[in-house]
Chains A and B, each alone.
Chain A
Amino acid sequence: PAALPPAPLGFTDVNLNSRNTYEVSRRRSAPEHLPHGGTAPAEPASPPQEPAERARHRVGIAGAGSSFAEFFTRNFFTKKTKELKPAVQSAPGWKLFGKVPPRENLPKDSKIIQQEYEARTGRMYKPPPPSARRKNIEFEPLSTTALILEDRPANLPAKSVEEALRHRQEYDEMVAEAKKREIKEAHKRKKIMRERFKQEENIASAMVIWVNEILPNWEGMRATRRVRELWWQGLPPSVRGKVWSLAVGNELNITPELYEIFLSRAKERWKSFSETSSENDTEDAGASVADREASLELIKLDISRTFPSLYIFQKGGPYHDLLHSVLGAYTCYRPDVGYVQGMSFIAAVLILNLEEADAFIAFANLLNKPCQLAFFRVDHSMMLKYFAAFEVFFEENLPKLFLHFKSYSLTPDIYLIDWIFTLYSKSLPLDLACRVWDVFCRDGEEFLFRTGLGILRLYEDILLQMDFIHIAQFLTKLPEDITSEKLFSCIAAIQMQNSNKKWAQVFASLMKDNKEGDKNHSPAPKS
C-alpha cells in the first residue's frame, strides 16, 4: 500500500490550459525522465537526425512510468481533453503508440514508413480504437514497438542516401538495445513476481496459524517462542490490527460508547469554535479554551499533511473525517496532552488497520505508554533520558559511527525525535513501518530504539563518509528503497545488552542518576 505513487495528487496544480494534454500525461508518468517537460513537445516534429542519445532518452519514456500512475493520468486527462479546446499541436518526431494525439499536419509519408517498419519487423501493430484503448488500462507500449523511424517532413529537403542509411542503422541499434533491456527487465520482473508469490504463500500460511491457533489462545500463546518467532516475520495484514489491539491492550478500559461520547463532545466544540471565530477573533476567551481551540485548529492543518501521497486523508478523501474524529475525540479525552504533531501519523496508521472505535482505543492506550507519554507531553528531561539510553546502546553496537557523530556534535535529537514521535511511520515506507510496529507491539519501547540503531547500522558505511549536514539530511529523509529484509537483518544484529544490562535496566539507572541533580527542569513557557 505504501507504493502508491503521488501521481493522482499532482493534477490539481497542473495548468492544463497552457500545455497540451499529451505533455502533461507524459510528464506525470515519467517525471524523472523529463525534468523540463515543457520543452520537448513544443519542438517542431524533429527528423530522426537528432542525436542518438536524445532519441534513446525518448525510448526510455515509452516504457517507463508505473501503470498505476498511467491509470490515473489517462483517465483523468482523457476526460479533461474533451473540455479543453486548446489545440493539441505538434508532436515529437519519435512517436509513441497510444499516447500521442493525432497530429494536425501529419507528414504524408509517415504511414508508409510505419507500414515499412511493420513489414520489416514482421509484426503488425493495429492501434486499438480509442475507446477500447481508454478502457484497457493495462496496455503498456513496449519501447521496441513504440519507436518509429520517420522521414523528414515534406517541407524540408530530403536526406541523402548515406544519411538515411546511417539513421536507419542507428535506429536499428537503438531498437535492438531497447529490446535487450526489455528482456532483462522482464526477467527481473519475473523474479520479483516469483518472490512475491512465495511471500504471499508464507503470509497465507501464517494467517491460518494466527487465526486458528494463536488468536483463540492469545494469553497462553503470545509469549511462546514459536509465536514470538512468527511475530518477528511480520504480521499478516488481515490479522495485524487485531494483534496490535491485543498487544497494546486496553488498560484505560475505553469502550466504543466512551469514544462516541468524546467524539460528540469534540463535534460540539468544533461547532462552537467555527461560530465564535466567524464573529470575531476570540480575544476575551480564557487561555485554556484558546489553547484547546488552537489544538483543534492544528488538527485541521495537519490532517491533510498526513501521508499526503496516499491521498485518502486529504480533504474529500475517504479517511479525512475519520482521522479528524479520532484526533478530536482524543483531545477531549486527554486535554492534559491535547494534540501534538506526530499524533496524526500514528492515528492514521491505526485507522488503516482497525475499525474507528478500535483505532481510538488502541491510539489512546498506545499514547499512554511511558515513552509515548514522555514524548507527547514534550517532557524534555525525560526525552533526554531516552536519548541517553539510546546512546549507551549506540556506542556499544556501533562505536565507530558513534564517534563519528560525536565529532560533529550530532546528537540523537536531530534524528530520533521524528522517528520516535511518529513510530517510524513518516520516515519508513508504510509497509516497513507496519513491520516495525508489529515487533514494537511485541517488544515495547526498546524496539523503537533498536530499530533506530538498525537503521544506523544499515547505512553505517555511507554515514561514515558524510559530514554533519549530509548525515542530518540523510537521516531525516531516509532512502525510499529501503527493504524490510535488509533493515530487519540489521535490527537483528543489534544487541540490546550493555555489560549484562538490558534496556530497561540502563534506562532505570539513568533515571536514578539524574534524580539527585535535577534542577534544570523548567516548565515550558506559555503564551
Chain B
Amino acid sequence: MQKHNQKEHLYKLLVIGDLGVGKTSIIKRYVHQNFSPHYRATIGVDFALKVLNWDAETVVRLQLWDIAGQERFGNMTRVYYREAMGAFIVFDVTRPATFEAVTKWKEDLDSKLILPNGKPVPAVLLANKCDQGIDVLMNNGIKMDQFCKENGFVGWFETSAKENININEASRCLVKHIIASESDPVQSVEPDIIKPHLNSSKIVSCSACFKS
C-alpha cells in the first residue's frame, strides 16, 4: 500500500500529569473516537497507537504511552520515558492542584529526557475538562502563554475528551514541533554546556501555536 516516496515516522509520545486529570480519556478519544466517564485507573502504563497521514509523502505513527499519575510511581515510571520524542502534560481545570503539579511534571520530564541534539523534548500543555464550565483559563490566555514560555512548553490547549475539543489540534501541534526538531541540525554536541539562547529561540518559533 505504501508509496515508494512515502516516508514513515514513528514517534513515542508520553502522556503524563496528575492522577485523574483525564490522560486515558484523552487517548481513548484521540485513538478510538469515544468517551466513557468510567475508565479504570491506569496502573503502570497503557498503550495506544495512532496513525496519521501527515501529508502526501508522510505517514506518522504515534506510540502513546499513558503513564500512571500517582506521584509515588515517579521512580518506577522513569524507565518509560526512554526515547520519547514528545510529551503531553495534562492537568484538570477543575482541580487547581493539578495545575500546580504541571511544573513538577515538566521538570521531571526534562531531567530524565534530552533529545540527541541536547534540547528538551517538545511538550504541549493540555488544560483538560474544559467542558466543565470553568473558564478561568479562557480569561487568562495571555497568562497561560506566559506560563508556557517560562516553562518551555511549545504550546497549550484547552481540551475536552468528553466533548472532543482540541485534541486533534494539540496533537498536530506537538507532531509539528517534533518534525521540526528532527530536521534541526544537531546544535550541541556537548549537552553539558547549557546555552540559554537555545530555549528562547525555540519558543519564538512556536508562538504561532499559541493562537491555534
Contacts and interface: CB of A to CB of B under 8 A. Distances in A.
Interface of A: 6, 9-10, 12-13, 281, 298, 301-302, 304-309, 314, 338, 340-342, 344-345, 378, 380, 383, 411, 413-415, 417-418, 421-422, 426, 469-470, 472-473, 476-477, 522, 524-525, 527
A47 to B, nearest CB: 33
B3 interface: no
B39 A417 contact: no
A524 B40 contact: no
B44 A418 contact: yes
A298 B108 CA distance: 21
Given A281-B96, A380-B75, A476 B47 contact: yes
B94 to A, nearest CB: 12
A345 B104 CA distance: 28
Majority DSSP secondary structure for residues of B touching A: mixed
Category for how many chain B residues contact A: 20 to 34
Given A340-B70, A341-B19, A341-B70, A422 B43 contact: yes
Contact of A421 (B35, B38, B44): B44
B46 A413 contact: no
A298 B70 contact: yes
B38 A383 contact: no
Given A302-B19, A469-B49, A308 B44 contact: no
6 contacts: A10-B36, A342-B43, A413-B44, A418-B43, A421-B43, A476-B47
Given A473-B48, A522-B75, 16 more contacts: A9-B36, A281-B97, A301-B20, A304-B38, A305-B38, A306-B41, A378-B72, A378-B73, A383-B76, A417-B44, A417-B45, A418-B44, A469-B49, A469-B63, A473-B47, A527-B104
Contacts of B49: 469-470, 473
A443 B123 CA distance: 46
B76 A307 contact: no
Nearest to A521: B75
A305 B41 contact: yes
A385 to B, nearest CB: 14
Given A302-B41, A308-B39, A421-B44, A341 B20 contact: no
Nearest to B92: A301
B37 interface: yes
A411 B79 contact: yes
A119 B124 CA distance: 68
Contact of B47 (A6, A298, A383, A469): A469
A301 B75 CA distance: 22
Contacts of A305: 20, 38-41
Interface of B: 19-20, 35-49, 63, 68, 70-76, 79-80, 96-97, 104, 108
Nearest to B100: A281
A13 B104 CA distance: 34
A302 B18 CA distance: 12
A306 B75 CA distance: 24
Given A341-B19, A341-B70, A469-B49, A12 B37 contact: yes
Contact of A341 (B46, B73, B104): B73
Nearest to B104: A527
A9 B44 contact: no
Given A307-B40, A308-B40, A469-B63, A414 B45 contact: yes
B19 A301 contact: yes
Nearest to B73: A378
B207 to A, nearest CB: 31
A304 B39 CA distance: 9
B55 to A, nearest CB: 23
A524 B72 contact: yes
Contacts of B63: 469
A309 B76 contact: no
Nearest to A471: B47
Contacts of B97: 281
Contacts of B37: 12-13
Given A301-B20, A414-B45, A426 B76 contact: no
Contacts of A314: 38
B199 to A, nearest CB: 23
Contacts of A417: 43-45, 76
In this complex, the member of A6, A309, A469 whose beta carbon has the largest number of chain B beta carbons within 10 angstroms is: A469
Contacts of B79: 411, 413
Given A9-B38, A301-B20, A527-B104, A341 B75 contact: no
A17 B209 CA distance: 38
A341 B96 contact: no
A304 B40 CA distance: 8
A309 to B, nearest CB: 7
Given A302-B19, A378-B72, A413-B79, A426 B47 contact: no
Contact of A476 (B20, B46, B104): B46
B75 A524 contact: yes
Nearest to A413: B79
Contacts of B75: 378, 380, 522, 524-525
